[in-house]
Amino acid sequence: MVEIAVMGYGVVGSGVVEVLTNHAENIAKRAKEQIDIKYILDLREFPGSPFESKFTNSFDKILNDPEVKIVVEVMGGLNPAFDYVKRCLEAGKSVVTSNKELVAAKGAQLLKIAQKNNLNFLFEASVGGGIPIIRPISQCLAANDVVEIAGILNGTTNFILTKMIREQMTFDDTLALAQKLGYAERNPAADVEGHDACRKICILSSLAYGRHVYPDQVHTEGITKITLADVEYAAVWGGVVKLIGQVKMMENGKLQIIVCPMFIPRESQLANVDDVFNGIMVRGDSTGDVVFYGKGAGKLPTASAVVADVIDCVKHFKARKYLYWEDGSKDYVEDYLLNEVAMFVRAESDDEDLAFKNINQIFGGVTRLSRKKPANGEIAFVTDVMREKEIVAKLAELEPLGVNVKNMIRIGDL
């Protein structure tokens, strides 16, 4: 019998308790031990709950109980989660978490403490919800150099973009619908500004390349500026707009990493990942492209990933799982303006012909796009591949010539 504690009884926490209870027999068989929830930490009270006797509002009770060998942290946020998790690891308890904010901000530090104390710190549920991705990257792909990871890592924004693409709903209307359906928070910034996707690509990158990348090192753009015009131009170009987190190792040993909306060709496996689903492409030098697809969030998918980690902890009390990365450094990430990229540009101009004469002269040729009912003076084109700073400079040259950029979207090479 292994005693565990669950910290946080929100959506994921209650899901963890539910999965552990409903699948108890199977789980015991797989873990080769019965798993018992001794405490559930929550400030609220849950009178009448079948787990009423397990609730506590005292973290110290969990910390100081030597019987508790594994702690599940599903509170979310950095505080007090970081402090609690750190103290649990220091007290000799393995920790399983679904908290991407925590892992993205403090992963290297917590993994170091876990290693020092010969404990496990596992976080399969922090990326991709119920999609197995942390474990496949760390284990199955051990015989590969990871060339690239690119993914649709946030279900809320993918739902919004899918509605915009399929039903020509505006961003604002779709966001309101997503909030009504419970897919988006009342304050949707973490999703629509790309922060959630950024945390996830940071975790995947840290794992794949062995050094921590911090969210503030990653150029991150959300989807708030995407209009139906952009969606339509993406279709004309031959694809769809998706919010992508992408990382590649460059030859100079630095990372090329970014989170932003991209035009994705229709043939790409990621182009067909719709609604609240996530899709993650891992390109290995031996395996080629492997894509993982599924629900990236939700109570039971996420809970089932947490429980799989708990089972792994139980099975590996003595043989620690290999899951580790070093601390990062300031110069580890390449300036995104130095990345080579092709760019979709939507702009306004009073004189279309003159505008394209100037654009073609300054860019040395672009691919012009047109849609059925453009706004007055609207023009659109796709540049060749060049350094992003060059594109920005050329567009700046065009401004005094009467070409006013309204939006820029990178072309994904996926």
295 binds a second copy (CB under 8 A): yes
Minimum CB separation of residue 340 from a second copy in Å reads 27
Q: Which of 38, 112, 135, 387 binds a second copy (CB under 8 A)?
A: 135
Minimum CB separation of residue 287 from a second copy in Å reads 4
Which region among 1-9, 71-79, 132-140, 159-167 touches a second copy (by CB under 8 A)? 132-140
Cβ(44)–Cβ(51) under 8 Å?
A: no
142 forms beta bridges with: none
Which region among 51-59, 234-242, 285-293, 340-348 touches a second copy (by CB under 8 A)? 285-293
294 binds a second copy (CB under 8 A): yes
177 binds a second copy (CB under 8 A): no
For residues 184 and 168, give the distance between their C-alpha atoms in angstroms, rounded to a whole number. Answer: 19
277-304 burial by CB neighbour count: b if 16+ within 10 A, else e?
bbbbbbbbeeeeebbbbbbbbbbbbbbb
| Structure-token match 């006013």, residue found | 404
30 binds a second copy (CB under 8 A): yes
Cβ(91)–Cβ(119) under 8 Å?
A: no
303 binds a second copy (CB under 8 A): yes
Structure token pair of residue 59 = 């973290």
Residues recognised as catalytic: 200
For residues 316 and 69, give the distance between their C-alpha atoms in angstroms, rounded to a whole number. Answer: 12
Structure token pair of residue 78 = 């950095």
Residue 31 vs 91, nearer CB to a second copy: 31
Residue 123 vs 344, nearer CB to a second copy: 123
For residues 293 and 90, give the distance between their C-alpha atoms in angstroms, rounded to a whole number. Answer: 36
In single-letter form, the type of residue at position 106 comes to: K
Q: Which of 311, 313, 408, 414 binds a second copy (CB under 8 A)?
A: 311
Q: Strand (E) positions, 66-177?
A: 68-73, 94-97, 121-122, 146-152
126 binds a second copy (CB under 8 A): no
Where does this chain bind a second copy (CB under 8 A)? Answer: 19-20, 23, 26-27, 30-32, 124, 129-132, 135-136, 139-145, 269, 272, 284-295, 298, 300-301, 303-305, 307-308, 311-312, 315-316, 318-319, 322
